[in-house]
Structure 1
Amino acid sequence: MSRLDHYIFRQLAVALLAVTIGLAALVWLTQSLRFIELVLDRGLSFSVFIELTGLLLPSFFAVILPITTFVVSLFVYVRLASDRELVVMRAAGLSQWQLARPVLALATLAMATCYILELWVVPTTQAAFRAWQYEIRNELAAILVQEGVFSSVGDDLTVYARYRDPDGTLRGILVHDAREAGAPVTILAEAGRIASGPNGPRVTLENGQRQQVEKVSPPPGSLPGTAPQSRLSVLSFSENSIDLARASRGEADSRYRNAQERNLQELLHPDPAERIPDRDLKRFVAEAHQRLTRPLSAIGYALVALATALTGQFRRHGGSLRLFTGIAVVVVLLAIGLTVGNLAARSPRLIPLVWLNALLPGLVAAWILSGAPGWPQGWFTRRTRTAAP
């Protein structure tokens, strides 16, 4: 690279680093707000909070890096055009592609970083993040029980405590357990304490009642087709205990992993023993192809920025329209990308659209930078004419 390339590349790299870190921090703050309650009200340590939310950062970087590459490239080159630096560079004999070299070098680095994130780092961190979530919901259920609130431990277990003593004893407890299909259990107790058990946290209840609705078979001699009757069973106890974990240790080890947690090999060739539903298999294939194509958008968006900034007439105060045009194009491309990804997850026949969406914008932008061969040259010459300084 020449000294001029180093000059432009340095501006691009510094801006990209600052914008990417700033935007990632902003997204991290907005996403971590849902975990603040676990620290302020439910006793989760701050170190666990930092580790848990920090696992989200690689996925943020993988998503925003192509976008920030586009933003930085567009703004830096529009500024160079507004300051007439591009005019001087063209007067020195630099072609469009020579001017584009710093951006292409930066975009290549961004693409390589995105591939590392998408193929290796993000699946690992997502798996660790989901494991943390699972442990909080199952192994650390004690921190989810808040006094005066109906706390849901999963979708089928609800715990309510009127208040909590300073020593951790819960008073006025209600537990509704619907984990056993067709036989929900409601337990009322005067007091209780949460402690660790072999399969996770357990709550030991004192002086209460256990109410369960049971299905009773029709008595002999009933008409055929008579539906089973329901009977309320009430059991008083002085002490009883119930598991708050939603699953046993064995079930926890075989926790179902979604597409974000799996590597590329598992997405394209999942283990048949898992008996993955056909709907999820389609999502896995679509996710695999999106991981292979998303990093390419770093190059494509950078070329769109170059095509926007290096074509058209240069005016001292005409950069705002160019900025708006480039941003509008990328916003449309992002919307199309989301739509195409959702369609491909439903129908694998549409997966070629994922590759087309990743490659076509860059190819069109490169064609424009090359002088739009095959297009009426008079039109393009008027569009790319450089105004006198």
Structure 2
Amino acid sequence: IYYAKSGSIIEKGDEKVLMMNDGVINRKSLTGDLSVIRFTSYAFDLSAFMSAANEITLLPKDRTTQYLLNPDPNDKMFQRKPASYSAELDQRFSEWSYPLVFALIALAVAGDARSHREARIHPLITAIAIALFVRWLGFFAAGKADKVPLYAYMVYGVPIVASAVATWFIVSSRSMELPAAWADWMTNLAGRVGETWTAVKLRLSRRASGQRV
């Protein structure tokens, strides 16, 4: 550990030296012994630290789209994982479509002419659940595309298929719903959570009334 009352950085070409004045150096040996060295002036070479700091590794997600389209052949990251660059491109070119997919899903869920009271669960919950499932499929495909190139087709296929299915429901005037088993499970889960919450509130109210007495 270096301590100094004053110091300055001196640059000589590409070299940088830290000059410290009137300080001490605390050094601890492997055996645990501590030694203190006092100095009036001490020069510390910063070149090694500067060279290490200049070597910045940029991942594909940190690169611009233009660079991903034409990466530098000498890029070390590109040399190690060339498939990750194309996978990042596929993800960027497909992500813009998901807002449109979510809008189509919402229209497909809410587009039924019958009353929403006849549905098993609220249409908003249905739309959110389907949208989350579709987005999860997209993330899953994107995460696998850099290792298995065939998943690149799935990256584009997920939003395309989801949009086509939602459009079919809209055109045919049908309501997009969750499978009956899923809807029943979610309804039962919501009922159990509601009952548990009611029981907890009842216990808390009883304790509060008992403390008042």
Equivalent residue for 2:125? Answer: 324
Following TM superposition, by how much is the alpha carbon of 1:211 offset from its aligned partner in structure 2, in angstroms? 5.9
Return closer, same or farther for 1:314/1:260 CA change in 2, 3 Å cut-off. same
Equivalent residue for 1:47? Answer: none
**1:303·1:362 contact (CA, 8 Å) conserved in 2?**
yes
Return closer, same or farther for 1:335/1:209 CA change in 2, 3 Å cut-off. same
Equivalent residue for 2:190? Answer: none
**2:98·2:159 contact (CA, 8 Å) conserved in 1?**
yes
Question: Which region of structure 1 is more displaced relative to structure 2, 199-208 or 265-274?
Answer: 199-208
**1:193·1:204 contact (CA, 8 Å) conserved in 2?**
yes
Identity of aligned residues (%): 21
Deviations 1:46-93 (A, max 9, x none): xxxxxxxxxxxxxxxxxxxxxxxxxxxxxxxxxxxxxxxxxxxxxxxx
Q: Of residues 108, 123, 143 in structure 2, which corresponds to 1:342?
A: 143
Matches within 5 A, 1:90-129: none
Equivalent residue for 2:64? Answer: 263
Please, what TM-score do these two structures have when normalized by structure 2? 0.61
Equivalent residue for 2:180? Answer: none
Deviations 1:348-385 (A, max 9, x none): 2311111012211111101111107xxxxxxx59x9xx
- Give aligned pairs, total: 166
Equivalent residue for 1:274? Answer: 75
**Amino acid paired to 2:40:** S
**Amino acid paired to 2:82:** L
**1:301·1:361 contact (CA, 8 Å) conserved in 2?**
no
Which structure would you say has the larger Rg?
2
Deviations 1:168-192 (A, max 9, x none): xxxxxx2xxxxxxxxxxxxx43x25
For structure 2, the residue ranges without an aligned partner over 5 or more in a row are 30-35, 178-213
How far apart in 2 are the matches of 1:303 and 1:241? 67
Question: Which region of structure 1 is more displaced relative to structure 2, 290-299 or 259-268?
Answer: 259-268
Structure showing greater relative contact order (alpha-carbon pairs closer than 8 Å, 6 or more residues apart): 1
Following TM superposition, by how much is the alpha carbon of 1:255 offset from its aligned partner in structure 2, in angstroms? 3.4
How far apart in 2 are the matches of 1:335 and 1:314? 30
Return closer, same or farther for 1:370/1:194 CA change in 2, 3 Å cut-off. farther
Matches within 5 A, 1:199-278: 202=18, 204=20, 206-209=22-25, 237-242=39-44, 243=46, 246-248=49-51, 252=54, 255-278=56-79
**2:90·2:152 contact (CA, 8 Å) conserved in 1?**
yes
User: 2:111 matched to 1:295?
Assistant: no
Following TM superposition, by how much is the alpha carbon of 1:313 offset from its aligned partner in structure 2, in angstroms? 1.8
**Amino acid paired to 2:24:** G
Query: What RMSD in Å do the two structures reach over aligned CA positions?
Result: 3.8
Following TM superposition, by how much is the alpha carbon of 1:209 offset from its aligned partner in structure 2, in angstroms? 3.7
1:357 alignment partner, SS class: helix
Equivalent residue for 1:369? Answer: 170
User: 2:84 matched to 1:283?
Assistant: yes
Deviations 1:124-146 (A, max 9, x none): xxxxxxxxxxxxxxxxxxxxxxx
Following TM superposition, by how much is the alpha carbon of 1:210 offset from its aligned partner in structure 2, in angstroms? 7.8
